[in-house]
């Protein structure tokens, strides 16, 4: 692709929740050796949504700085990726569209395929910009991951939203062709409509993920992609941060490379910093990894970055991005640090109370306690309608 027709990520912003549960609290409650969390799965804390916080408020909070910097004139499409959908019909993005005051001449749609959905949204956005180079597309990935209390998956919970502005002549990352694709019908993780929390077969999910890594890379190389040693770093989906290490080790093994632990750490280490303290953010996870890499790394100008997006069930994609000259001038390092540092720690009892809280389904008037301090909140459920407020 000629530089004049480059399309990719022009801006990136993320938001996370009002509260955080340190894994030391969880370990103290259930008697787990803390090393199982800190070292075994690579997690130190998890973001916990307040009573008046959900994927809409997180998505709006992530996208607001993008809108403030770039305006709305060129945004004609919003694609909202989530697997924590709040409605079977209406896109969560429509609420965000309203909260942000976007023009009515906008298409808004929600995409779902487990944790892979944001990558589908990114690729669809690139196609729209190819068709109309003056258009910008706002991609929002927002999720609150939730497992049953005292279940094996509980320690991997988390919540965050990432907003990507997709544009020609991007300021951060040019997305390159081709992509490696892989789909297999696997029951490794799923959430039926009648359940609030997901069902997961942990060992099956790890095996399915690694098979998808192998499958996407095989297709990527057959499509004429870069050689493995041309990449400076790799952003993997991180259901827990040690999974990025496992995935990269598997990619090296199946490609005939040595699996030196220092090489693996160099390839993925910087991408895990935010996920380690936020937890699994599902669709946002890969791009939270990208944010951590860009915010921490020495100059990556001109370097190729590999992306492996995996969504249980399962669909995966491997693609490459090239870091654009001058990208560091457009980063939001301070804001991203503040999003993480501003969270209020919870004790285990307060966390459990939030985890078990749910709205009655009677259509009555159910206001939410005002726990958040950000610009957007879920104010009530009234007449089966979600009522949002902008402060």
82-105 exposure pattern, b = at least 16 Cβ within 10 A, e = fewer: bbbbbeeeebbbbbbbebbebeee
Tens of pLDDT, residues 56-93 = 999 999 999 999 999 999 999 999 999 999 999 999 99
Quick: pLDDT tens for 184-234. Answer: 999 999 999 998 888 888 889 999 999 999 999 999 999 999 999 999 999
The pLDDT value recorded for residue 197 is 83
Cβ atoms of residues 142 and 62 within 8 Å: yes
Residue 306 burial (10 A CB sphere; 0-12, 13-18, 19+): buried
In angstroms, rounded to a whole number, what is the distance separating the alpha carbons of residues 228 and 214? Answer: 13
Distance, CA of 5 to chain centre: 27
CA distance 353 to 328: 41
For Cα atoms 300, 16, 18, give the angle at the middle one, nearest 5 degrees. 145
69-to-114, 201, 233, 283 alpha-carbon distances in Å: 30, 42, 28, 24
Kindly list the domain boundaries of the chain, sorted by start residue: 3-390
pLDDT in tens, 296-330: 999 999 999 999 999 999 999 999 999 999 999 99
Look at residue 2 in the predicted model and tell me its pLDDT. 39
pTM of the model: 0.97
Does the pLDDT value for residue 4 go beyond 70? no
3-390 fold: Peroxisomal Thiolase; Chain A, domain 1 (3.40.47)
Q: What secondary structure letter does DSSP report for 192? A: -
Reported as a single tens digit per residue, the pLDDT across 255-301 is: 999 888 999 999 999 999 999 999 999 999 999 999 999 999 999 99
Residue 113 banded pLDDT, cuts 50, 70, 90: very high
The rounded distance, in Å, linking the Cα atoms of 321 and 126 is 13
Sheet holding 7-16, edge to edge: 107-111, 75-81, 136-145, 158-168, 7-16, 173-183, 315-323, 304-311, 231-236
Q: How crowded is the C-beta side of 328, counted as CA atoms within 13 Å?
A: 7
pLDDT at 5: 78
Active-site positions? 83, 115, 237
């Amino acid at each position: 692709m000629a530089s004049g027709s480059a399309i990719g990520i022009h801006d990136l912003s993320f938001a996370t929740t009002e509260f955080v549960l340190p894994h030391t609290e969880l370990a103290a409650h259930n008697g787990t050796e803390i090393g199982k969390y800190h070292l075994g799965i690579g997690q130190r804390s998890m973001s916990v949504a307040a009573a008046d916080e959900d994927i809409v408020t997180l998505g709006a909070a992530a996208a607001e700085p993008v809108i403030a910097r770039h305006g709305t004139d060129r945004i004609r499409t919003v694609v909202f990726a989530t697997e924590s959908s709040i409605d079977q019909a209406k896109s969560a993005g429509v609420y965000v569209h309203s909260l942000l005051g976007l023009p009515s001449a906008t298409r808004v749609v929600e995409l779902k395929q487990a944790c892979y959905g944001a990558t589908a949204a990114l690729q669809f956005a690139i196609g729209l910009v190819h068709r109309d180079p003056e258009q910008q597309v706002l991609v929002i990935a927002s999720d609150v991951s939730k497992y049953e209390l005292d279940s094996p998956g509980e320690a991997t919970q988390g919540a965050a939203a990432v907003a990507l502005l997709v544009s020609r002549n991007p300021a951060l990352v040019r997305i390159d062709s081709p992509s490696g694709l892989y789909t297999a019908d696997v029951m490794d993780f799923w959430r039926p409509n009648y359940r609030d929390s997901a069902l997961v077969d942990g060992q099956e999910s790890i095996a399915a993920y690694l098979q998808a890594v192998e499958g996407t890379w095989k297709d990527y190389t057959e499509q004429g992609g870069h050689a493995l040693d041309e990449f400076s770093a790799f952003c993997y989906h991180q259901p827990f941060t040690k999974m990025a290490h496992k995935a990269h080790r598997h990619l090296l093994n199946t490609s005939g490379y040595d699996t030196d632990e220092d090489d693996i750490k160099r390839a993925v280490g910087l991408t895990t910093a935010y996920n380690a303290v936020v937890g699994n953010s599902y669709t946002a996870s890969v791009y939270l990894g990208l944010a951590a890499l860009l915010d921490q790394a020495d100059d990556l100008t001109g370097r190729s970055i590999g992306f492996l997006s995996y969504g249980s069930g399962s669909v995966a994609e491997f693609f490459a991005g090239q870091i654009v000259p001058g990208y560091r001038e457009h980063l939001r390092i301070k804001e991203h640090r503040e999003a993480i540092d501003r969270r209020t720690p919870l004790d285990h009892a307060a966390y459990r109370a939030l985890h078990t809280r749910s709205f009655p389904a009677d259509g009555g008037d159910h206001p939410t306690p005002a726990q958040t301090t950000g610009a957007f909140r879920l104010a009530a459920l009234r007449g089966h309608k979600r009522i949002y407020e902008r402060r």
